[in-house]
């Protein structure tokens, strides 16, 4: 799915597009996106019926412009869309997630119409379903704190509210010159802000590329003093805009984002968002006649005009998919930006841990948590600690993230060295330890936006339709089940951390069965041994003789999700199958304190943490457990991904599964993963 504005003019753009620029020749993302849109990008000289492509109004665009003019061929301009990447492309070569492809003009060139302008004048931006999508997308972008570039520091706070925000841009940027402005517009803008607000704080926000030393801006420390302050800290644009009383800009994208925050920015150039009744324009643009709402402006600029690309699925997509993808990538960068020292990590896990957490800075592995904490403290890194191997009474000095498998893990067991698609990170505790609060507890207690609620429901609908669970093992056909009120009893690994940290008085599978039978003498009890126990890898087996009189049916190697379809209730100590039952609408009785107990969603017969006083609904629980708490990694594209992509991989089953030789290789790779800093 791509922008409707693009689809409407797609036939105007020739199938073959030619360029004469070496940087475009190397731009694999540009080639791929145009290919998916039905176009072929070539280097050289065009023929009749072809078109010429240039990058915006770049310094080398004149070559293509002259070529198109000389041969009377269509000229197509392309630029980054307004959600791009974590870092500026100039800094890292990071590819964009969206492009604006324009056969009319260019959105930032106000001297002539553009495709963006035509879309904003069209009735398409006023359709009710489009406006609803726009409103939801605006909410999500602000909620998850996304902008064009996203390498700002989430720990940086905006100054106290009430300031006047003046936005700087980089010198000689085409978006200034072609918006009817110049370098002189910037001191004029600052003077106007001082005149309009003589008694207020004025904050000049430095451009990210200026802060990174890539390109100079128009303001420097010499412009600060008195009421004027130069802000070079990497503060989130949304935090800045939320605390600003007024916004002044020449043609920056932050002016567009200011409109989404309810501002009416004063604009000194003629950017794409000026002239629609949403800005105070120093240079009015009479040909822009339509009067738009912020949602309609957003619909044209973000939903209809761009081509958006999904790098995990390698296909064109909707803006909503890009938001999900960028959210996953940005979260990974924010958590990993200082680097980690990893402790308690088994050798076979280290390769996948390097994938998850070592993309920005390679992980440094140290077996001993105490030594790892000392190294992390000395180097300013985060301590990454496998939760199940945390020593008792360990109090790290460094910032610490505890790590465990996520709840949509793999097709296969961790005990068989199958690497995970998801891991959770927790800066407070860990989800299975009910002796202290965890980050998951806080997330479950948090209210959900309408957008998050809708996304959660769509994820649950698909999870149920695909029959997906934590391990997704191929199960044997179910035996005939007796009629009656059926209760599923999932067995657990009895030395598992979730039992040690989350169980009450009942701590064994046999005692669980006895308690369930005592409370339900007439029910049909179905006992499902844990896969690790069935495989002989972990303790928890019940002798056959002990099962007599307790379990009516023992279902070894059965598909747990198929069993859930056949039962009316689940009894468990702390099994994740209790959560999987809850999201399928099946009542659950807990004898321990798993993460989903104590919220009013289960019948609790064991002790529950006193801090679980909120009363969330099922959507809040599921959103926290499946979307907000875990991080996901796509083994196909080898990048962070949203849970929807993980569901794709689990449903299709195209995930590497290690055999005996591969297990040995995994351990060997884990040993070398410790030395990744030598080649990365």
Q: Kindly tell me if the per-residue pLDDT of 10 is higher than 60.
A: no
Confidence of residue 412 (pLDDT cuts 50, 70, 90): low
Distance, CA of 367 to CA of 15 (rounded, Å)? 57
3-state secondary structure of 393: coil
pLDDT tens figures, 94-117: 999 999 999 999 999 999 999 999
Domains, the chain, in order of start with CATH, read: 1-144+291-323 (no CATH), 147-271 (3.40.50), 338-431+634-678 (no CATH), 476-616 (3.40.50)
Distance, CA of 421 to CA of 413 (rounded, Å)? 12
Distance, CA of 476 to CA of 231 (rounded, Å)? 63
Average pLDDT of the segment spanning 202-217: 94
Q: Kindly tell me if the per-residue pLDDT of 370 is higher than 90.
A: yes
Q: What is the pLDDT of residue 473?
A: 67
Average pLDDT of the segment spanning 409-418: 65
Q: What is the pLDDT of residue 660?
A: 52
Distance, CA of 243 to CA of 187 (rounded, Å)? 23
Q: What is the pLDDT of residue 667?
A: 47
* CA-CA-CA-CA torsion sign (621, 622, 623, 626): positive
Helix (H) or strand (E) holding 425: strand 422-426
Strand partners, 572: 590
Average pLDDT of the segment spanning 334-351: 94
Distance, CA of 570 to CA of 488 (rounded, Å)? 5
Distance, CA of 48 to CA of 43 (rounded, Å)? 15
Question: Mean of the per-residue pLDDT values for the chain?
Answer: 92
Torsion of CA 44, 47, 50, 53, to 10 degrees: 30
Average pLDDT of the segment spanning 656-679: 48
Q: Kindly tell me if the per-residue pLDDT of 204 is higher than 80.
A: yes
Helix (H) or strand (E) holding 120: helix 115-121
Q: Kindly tell me if the per-residue pLDDT of 3 is higher than 70.
A: no
Confidence of residue 413 (pLDDT cuts 50, 70, 90): low
Q: Is residue 659 classed exposed, middle or buried when 0-12, 13-18 and 19+ CB atoms within 10 A define those classes?
A: exposed
Dump strand ranges (E) for 7-74: 16-19, 40-43, 51-55
Average pLDDT of the segment spanning 569-575: 97
Q: Kindly tell me if the per-residue pLDDT of 9 is higher than 60.
A: no
Confidence of residue 599 (pLDDT cuts 50, 70, 90): very high
Q: Kindly tell me if the per-residue pLDDT of 45 is higher than 50.
A: yes
Confidence of residue 670 (pLDDT cuts 50, 70, 90): very low
Q: What is the pLDDT of residue 61?
A: 95
Q: What is the pLDDT of residue 383?
A: 98
Residue 356, CA distances (Å) to 405, 425, 516 in order = 12, 11, 40
- Looking at per-residue pLDDT, the higher value among 271 and 541 belongs to 271
Confidence of residue 89 (pLDDT cuts 50, 70, 90): confident
Total residues found in the chain within this entry: 680
Helix (H) or strand (E) holding 404: strand 400-405
Q: Kindly tell me if the per-residue pLDDT of 679 is higher than 90.
A: no
Q: Kindly tell me if the per-residue pLDDT of 55 is higher than 80.
A: yes
Lowest average pLDDT, out of 29-33, 433-437, 493-497, goes to: 493-497
Q: What is the pLDDT of residue 661?
A: 46
Q: What is the pLDDT of residue 419?
A: 82
Q: Provide the whole-model pTM.
A: 0.92
Structure tokens at 32: 């791929």
Question: In this structure, are residues 559 and 466 in contact, taking their beta carbons and an 8 Å threshold?
Answer: no
Q: What is the pLDDT of residue 1?
A: 41
Q: Which residues contact 666 (CB under 8 A, 6 or more apart)?
A: 347, 348, 351, 417, 419, 658
Distance, CA of 75 to CA of 300 (rounded, Å)? 22
Q: What is the pLDDT of residue 238?
A: 97
pLDDT tens figures, 462-516: 999 988 888 766 678 888 899 999 999 999 999 888 999 999 999 999 999 999 9
Structure tokens at 492: 């657990």
Helix (H) or strand (E) holding 102: strand 98-102
Lowest average pLDDT, out of 137-151, 366-380, 666-680, goes to: 666-680
3-state secondary structure of 163: strand
pLDDT tens figures, 301-328: 999 999 999 999 999 999 999 999 999 9
């Amino acid at each position: 799915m791509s922008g409707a504005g693009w689809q409407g003019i797609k036939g105007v753009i020739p199938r073959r597009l030619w360029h004469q620029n070496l940087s475009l020749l190397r731009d694999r993302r540009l080639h791929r996106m145009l290919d998916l849109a039905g176009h072929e990008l070539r280097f050289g000289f065009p023929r009749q019926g072809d078109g010429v492509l240039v990058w915006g109004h770049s310094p080398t665009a004149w070559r293509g412009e002259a070529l198109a003019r000389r041969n009377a061929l269509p000229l197509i301009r392309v630029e980054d869309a307004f959600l791009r990447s974590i870092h500026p492309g100039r800094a890292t070569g990071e590819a964009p997630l969206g492009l604006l492809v324009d056969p009319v003009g260019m959105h930032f060139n106000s001297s002539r119409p553009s495709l963006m302008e035509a879309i904003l004048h069209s009735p398409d931006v006023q359709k009710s379903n489009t406006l609803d999508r726009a409103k939801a997308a605006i909410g999500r972008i602000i909620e998850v704190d996304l902008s064009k570039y996203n390498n700002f520091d989430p720990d940086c706070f905006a100054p106290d509210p009430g300031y006047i925000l003046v936005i700087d841009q980089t010198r000689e940027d085409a978006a200034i010159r072609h918006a009817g402005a110049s370098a002189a517009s910037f001191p004029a803008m600052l003077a106007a802000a001082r005149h309009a607000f003589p008694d207020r704080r004025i904050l000049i926000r430095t451009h990210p590329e200026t802060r990174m030393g890539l390109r100079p801006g128009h303001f420097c420390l010499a412009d600060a003093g008195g009421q004027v302050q130069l802000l070079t800290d990497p503060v989130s644009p949304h935090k800045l805009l939320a605390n600003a009383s007024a916004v002044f800009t020449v043609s920056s994208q932050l002016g567009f984002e200011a409109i989404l925050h309810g501002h009416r920015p004063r604009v000194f150039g003629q950017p794409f968002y000026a002239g629609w009744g949403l800005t105070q324009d120093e240079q009015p643009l009479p040909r822009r006649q339509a009067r738009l709402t912020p949602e309609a402006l957003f619909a044209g600029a973000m939903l209809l005009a761009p081509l958006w690309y999904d790098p995990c699925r390698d296909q064109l997509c909707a803006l909503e998919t890009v938001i999900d993808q960028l959210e996953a990538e940005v979260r990974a960068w924010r958590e990993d930006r200082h680097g980690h020292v990893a402790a308690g990590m088994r050798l076979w896990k280290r390769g996948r841990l390097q994938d998850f957490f070592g993309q920005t800075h390679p992980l440094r592995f140290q077996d001993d948590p105490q030594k790892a904490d000392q190294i992390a403290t000395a180097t300013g890194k985060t301590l990454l600690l496998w939760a199940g191997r945390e020593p008792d009474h360990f109090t790290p000095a460094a910032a610490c993230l505890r790590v465990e498998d996520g709840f949509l893990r793999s097709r296969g067991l961790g005990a068989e060295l199958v690497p995970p698609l998801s891991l959770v990170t927790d800066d407070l505790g860990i989800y299975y330890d009910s002796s202290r609060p965890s980050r998951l507890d806080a997330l479950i207690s948090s209210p959900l936006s309408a957008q998050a609620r809708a996304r959660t429901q769509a994820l649950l609908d698909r999870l149920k339709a695909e029959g997906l669970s934590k391990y997704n093992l191929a199960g044997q056909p179910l035996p005939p089940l007796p009629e009656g009120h059926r209760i599923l009893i999932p067995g657990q690994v009895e030395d598992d951390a979730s039992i040690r940290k989350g169980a009450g008085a009942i701590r064994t599978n046999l005692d669980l069965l006895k308690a369930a039978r005592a409370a339900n003498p007439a029910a049909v009890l179905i006992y499902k041994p844990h896969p690790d126990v069935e495989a002989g890898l972990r303790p928890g087996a019940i002798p056959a003789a002990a099962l007599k009189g307790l379990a009516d049916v023992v279902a070894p190697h059965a598909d747990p999700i198929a069993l859930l379809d056949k039962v009316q209730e689940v009894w468990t100590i702390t099994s994740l199958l209790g959560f999987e039952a809850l999201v399928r609408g099946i009542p659950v009785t807990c004898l321990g304190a798993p993460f989903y107990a104590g919220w009013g969603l289960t019948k609790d017969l064991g002790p529950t943490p006193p801090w679980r006083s909120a009363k969330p609904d099922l959507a809040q629980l599921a959103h926290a457990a499946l979307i907000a708490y875990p991080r996901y990694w796509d083994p196909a594209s080898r990048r962070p991904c949203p849970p929807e992509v993980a569901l794709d991989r689990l449903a299709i089953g195209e995930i590497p599964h290690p055999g005996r030789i591969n297990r040995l290789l995994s351990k060997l790779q884990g040993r070398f993963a410790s030395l990744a800093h030598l080649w990365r």
